[in-house]
Amino acid sequence: MNYEDLITLGIAFGLGLLVGLQREKSDNHMAGVRTFTLISILGVVSGFLSREYDNPFILPIMGIAITALLVTANIIKLKKLNEPDIGQTTEVAALLMFAIGAYLVLGSQVIAVVVGGTLAVLLYVKEHLHNFIDSLKEKDLAAIMTFAGISLVILPILPNKTFGPLDVLNPRNIWLMVTLIVGISVVGYFIYKFVGKKVGIISNGVLGGLISSTATTVSYARKTANTKNIDKLAAFVITAASAIALARVMIEIGVVVPEKLPEIIPPLIVEFVVMALLCVGLFYLINKEKGDEEMPEPKNPAQFKSALIFGLLYGLILLVVAFTKEEFGNNALYIVSIISGLTDVDAITLSLSQLMKTNGLDTSQGWRLILLASLSNLAFKGVMAAILGTRLLARWIAISFGISIVTGLLLMWLWPESWVF
């Protein structure tokens, strides 16, 4: 007995039940739990027949038969119902379940299960999805379309080879990093859109770090100048956004150079934990009555102009890092990290990660350079908060950022090279 085929039938049975349950729960009159289960099993049996008899015509004939049944059912529905539902969701779902059943036999079972599960979830969240789409503004659609253009149109057509001096400018690699950064910002932006403006101060800090910790710092520093008694709250949100920005840096490292993550990430995690503890301390000092501040609405994070500027900045930093390394040695990169970190941590992080990936930079020095860039960015945001905000905000930021910067410098100095995950 072939137990693998029995397992395949069991998977098809489960997926059919899952999708059919959702369709029946939605009061669909075309097909319910039994019909969808039978369709998915029919797909599996069609796959078995095609495999056993090595006949490529069995599967398409069965698919045409299913289509004919669905067309017949639709004709009957149109004649019997006064106001029939003209949507085709159930029909397409039925055909997809048949294809999934066949693919369980003739293709990858993992992919088939993922597609089946995704189908069930997509059908279930229909109302939520429609409500979300209805709430989108013009700039939200612009963000989606711009990101689609960046990732699905521009990225695939760029050449995957190096050009220019020092042999470090790879157009596809540069634009891939642009896609990564814009993608992270877009995710944060749409989380904001999903949860709404009044998301609580903890969420404000998290979303601010995902979208832009610098913009969050500027926004909340300005708010303290116009609103009384929110200095501690603003300090918490700014510190939390900066902590999440460091987590964002670790994610970027993990995407670019995952194989060396155990050597790079431990000291960065320690720095993140220290900043998180500072956030906890600030949180308990906040006046409870001021705990529901509204997060300022962020700008569109997927503007093509911003993406292009980041790509140019990233390419420039790649050149500067390569030139500095070749002409002055690795130690001169500390100056590059400090200067680059003032304006953009992402670009220098990705550049140094690429160097570590190609073994052009030792990981023990690489994480120090990345951490130094983050500390430089902290100092820059601290100065902005002091200039734009109140004296009390400047005092709180000086404490939280000061402890974070001193901790980071001590980690760079004292961290044992043998401590890896």
Q: Which two tokens stand for residue 330?
A: 């690795």
Residue predicted with more confidence, 211 or 239: 239
So where are the chain's domains?
3-132, 136-414
What average pLDDT does range 131-156 have in this prediction? 81
Q: With contact defined as beta carbons under 8 Å apart, do 275 and 377 qualify?
A: no
User: Distance (Å, rounded) from C-alpha 305 to C-alpha 291?
Assistant: 36
Considering only CA atoms, which of 321, 415, 325, 403 is closest in space to residue 367?
415
What average pLDDT does range 32-56 have in this prediction? 85
Q: How far is CA 298 from CA 34, 126, 199, 203, in A?
A: 47, 27, 14, 14
Predicted TM-score (pTM) of this structure: 0.72
Q: How far is CA 416 from the centre of its chain?
A: 32
Compute the mean pLDDT over every residue in the chain, rounded to the nearest whole number: 83
What average pLDDT does range 306-328 have in this prediction? 85
User: Distance (Å, rounded) from C-alpha 132 to C-alpha 194?
Assistant: 7
Q: With contact defined as beta carbons under 8 Å apart, do 282 and 318 qualify?
A: no
- List, for residues 379-411, the tens digit of each pLDDT value: 999 999 999 888 999 999 999 999 999 999 999
Confidence of residue 313 (pLDDT cuts 50, 70, 90): confident
- List, for residues 174-216, the tens digit of each pLDDT value: 898 888 888 887 877 777 766 655 556 677 777 777 778 888 8
Which residues share a beta bridge with 163? 169
What average pLDDT does range 120-133 have in this prediction? 74
Residue predicted with more confidence, 203 or 371: 371
Statement: residue 331 has pLDDT above 70: yes
Amino acid 213 reads S
The pLDDT value recorded for residue 396 is 92
Going by the DSSP 8-state scheme, the letter that residue 254 receives in this structure is H
**Range with lowest mean pLDDT among 64-73, 82-91, 103-112, 166-175:** 82-91
- List, for residues 336-349, the tens digit of each pLDDT value: 999 988 878 988 99
The pLDDT value recorded for residue 358 is 85
Where helices occur in 260-390 by DSSP H, the ranges are 261-283, 304-328, 333-343, 345-357, 363-388
User: Distance (Å, rounded) from C-alpha 183 to C-alpha 205?
Assistant: 19
Please state, as a whole number, how many other Cβ atoms lie within 10 Å of the Cβ of residue 200. 13
Going by the DSSP 8-state scheme, the letter that residue 416 receives in this structure is -
Residue predicted with more confidence, 296 or 399: 399
Q: With contact defined as beta carbons under 8 Å apart, do 40 and 100 qualify?
A: yes
Confidence of residue 116 (pLDDT cuts 50, 70, 90): confident
What average pLDDT does range 56-79 have in this prediction? 81
Statement: residue 293 has pLDDT above 60: no
The pLDDT value recorded for residue 368 is 94
Q: Which run of H or of E encompasses 42?
A: helix 33-53
The pLDDT value recorded for residue 278 is 94
Amino acid 334 reads Y
Statement: residue 290 has pLDDT above 60: no
Statement: residue 23 has pLDDT above 80: no
